[in-house]
Amino acid sequence: MHRLHYVTAAISIATLMGISPTLAQEPTDAGCRAMDMQVGTALEANQSANRDEAERERNSGRQFCNHGYYKIGSEHLANALKLLGAAKT
């Protein structure tokens, strides 16, 4: 019963802070793969001056995701998207 109160309180706090409970979840392997595909599409469509750096970020992101560090991998993939001007706002 106490756990239910803690979960309810955590969801309430997250809602008050404007964080959706589904968005507060940790990144997953599937999320890494989806983001990697986005980076690949952005790389194909973009000849940015930051392309080499974005490719390095993508490779780092892939390595972290492949070893189960999905949050760190997702951060590198997000940096790659940002460098390519394709980051979601």
| Torsion from C-alpha of 75, 36, 41, 60, nearest 10 degrees | 60
Rounded to the nearest angstrom, the gap between the alpha carbon of residue 75 and the centroid of all alpha carbons in its chain is 5
Taking the whole predicted model, whether its pTM rises above 0.75 is answered as no
Instruction: Write out the H or E segment, with its range, that includes residue 49.
Output: none
Instruction: Give me the residue label for tokens 């998207």.
Output: 81
Segment 66-89, tens digit of pLDDT: 999 999 999 999 999 999 988 765
Distance CA 27, CA 25 (A): 6
pLDDT digits (tens, 9 = 90+) for 56-67: 999 999 999 999
